[in-house]
């Protein structure tokens, strides 16, 4: 099953709760929340309080993408705020296996995100512990960037790794997903599609989500 996860990074923050309700009504499957600390990435967004507020607006799975240094220090706060899925960046963590266990201890789904320059084979010895892998198809930090084309090859390599190990790990793609790119991304084997600007900068969320889903 394929899922669409609108990233609220491109939403109107002055009415975040309503924006979340609107994309839910328009066919969103998950809600993607981008946490940025101004250190790991050159941008700052929000923390657990906004996750808690978002939880009040929807029953959909809250997919929390931590683009922060030292995520171990904050994981419990995000879980208490209502995160259903949490991904941490491979590049931001020293003891990855420990961090994954920390997320899973409370029955939250665990993911690892990889920057465009990070190869997928570094996941070899943790893949079986992961519910999902986030392949970044832009350099993290901002919405509205262009999809990096060689990501397609990377998705295929990861898909093969997952199949060879007989695992059910899902592949999430994040960055530059739109009506022009989604078909190729889908054919490469992606399960979860994050889309920020393509949805929130459009005039009609339902029409856009339907178009995206018709192309995968």
- DSSP sequence for 144-174: SPPP-TTHHHHHHHHHHHHHHTT---EEEEE
- Does residue 65 touch Zn ion according to CB under 5 A? yes
- Does residue 89 touch Zn ion according to CB under 5 A? no
Which of 91, 40, 39, 51 has the alpha carbon at shortest distance from 75? 51
Q: Which of 64, 173, 190, 198 binds ligand DX5 (CB under 6 A)?
A: 198
Active site residue 34: yes
Among the candidate windows 21-29, 46-54, 104-112, 141-149, which touches ligand DX5 by CB under 6 A? 141-149
On whether the CB atoms of residues 85 and 64 are closer than 8 A, the answer is yes
- Does residue 131 touch Zn ion according to CB under 5 A? no
What binding mask, one character per residue, do residues 67-96 give for ligand DX5 by CB under 6 A, x or -? ------------------------------
- Contacts with 89 (C-beta within 8 Å, 6 or more apart), sequence order: 40, 66, 67, 71, 112, 113, 114, 115, 140
What binding mask, one character per residue, do residues 160-189 give for Zn ion by CB under 5 A, x or -? --------------x---------------
- Does residue 5 touch ligand DX5 according to CB under 6 A? no
Residue 204: CB atoms within 10 A of its CB come to 11
Among the candidate windows 83-91, 118-126, 154-162, 173-181, which touches ligand DX5 by CB under 6 A? 173-181
How many residues bind to ligand DX5 according to rule CB under 6 A?
21
Active site residue 174: yes
- Cα Rg for the chain, rounded, in angstroms? 16
Among the candidate windows 48-56, 86-94, 175-183, 205-213, which touches ligand DX5 by CB under 6 A? 175-183
CA distances from 46 to 81, 100, 149, 176, 190 (A): 13, 22, 29, 21, 27
Q: Which residues are catalytic?
A: 34, 174
């Amino acid at each position: 099953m394929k899922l669409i996860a609108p990233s609220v990074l491109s939403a109107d923050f002055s009415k975040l709760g309503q924006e979340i309700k609107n994309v839910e009504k328009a066919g969103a499957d998950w809600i993607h929340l981008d946490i940025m600390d101004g250190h790991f990435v050159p941008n700052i967004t929000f923390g657990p309080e906004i996750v808690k507020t978002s939880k009040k607006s929807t029953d959909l799975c809250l997919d929390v993408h931590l683009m922060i240094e030292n995520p171990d220090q904050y994981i419990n706060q995000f879980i208490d705020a209502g995160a259903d899925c949490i991904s941490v960046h491979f590049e931001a963590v020293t003891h990855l296996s420990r961090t994954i266990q920390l997320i899973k201890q409370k029955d939250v789904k665990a993911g690892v995100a990889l920057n465009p320059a990070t190869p997928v084979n570094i996941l070899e010895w943790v893949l079986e512990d992961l519910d999902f892998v986030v392949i970044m198809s832009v350099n993290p930090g901002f919405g509205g960037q262009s999809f990096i084309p060689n990501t397609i090859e990377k998705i295929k390599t990861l898909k093969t790794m997952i199949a060879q190990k007989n695992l059910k790990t899902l592949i999430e793609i994040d960055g530059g997903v739109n009506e022009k790119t989604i078909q190729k991304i889908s054919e490469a084997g992606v399960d979860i599609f994050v889309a920020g600007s393509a949805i929130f900068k459009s005039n009609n969320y339902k029409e856009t989500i339907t178009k995206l889903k018709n192309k995968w």
